[in-house]
Amino acid sequence: SQTIHQWPATLVQPVGSPLSLECTVEGTSNPNLYWYRQAAGRGLQLLFYSVGIGQISSEVPQNLSASRPQDRQFILSSKKLLLSDSGFYLCAWRRMGAVALFFGPGTRLTVT
């Protein structure tokens, strides 16, 4: 069966510090991968998605970036965090050719 992991689970970072969140999927190949952000417990905003290694599409302009160095690995990064970057970051995956989207356990980021 497929499993999706995210780490860290929680993170507190000062403004201006860098960020790296990691997501990995097990048990499938060539998944479509997504980064969503959820602020204030409501609303899911799509940040990035990837259909393959090295292929990243950005949905909203921001100071975040994403990379997919391996087939089942998706990384969200920032060089300098802003207070507004605080939120619940969810990685999601979809099997190639399927429609159902499944979320990882999330990373709760607090920027202080």
Partner 1 sequence: GENVEQHPSTLSVQEGDSAVIKCTYSDSASNYFPWYKQELGKRPQLIIDIRSNVGEKKDQRIAVTLNKTAKHFSLHITETQPEDSAVYFCAASRPRGAGGTSYGKLTFGQGTILTVHP
Q: Return residues touching partner 1 (CB under 8 A).
A: 32, 34, 41-44, 46, 49, 51, 57, 90, 94, 99-106, 108
**Is residue 31 within 8 Å of residue 72, measured between CB atoms?**
yes
Identify whether 8 is preceded by a cis peptide bond (ω within 30 of 0): yes
The letter for the amino acid at 75 is: I
CB of 59 to partner 1, least distance (A): 8
Q: Find the Cα–Cα–Cα–Cα dihedral 9, 10, 16, 21, rounded to 10°.
A: 0
Looking at the Cβ atoms of 15 and 98, the one nearer to partner 1 is 98
How far apart are CB 10 and partner 1 at their closest, in Å? 10
- Shortest Cβ 42–partner 1 spacing (Å): 5
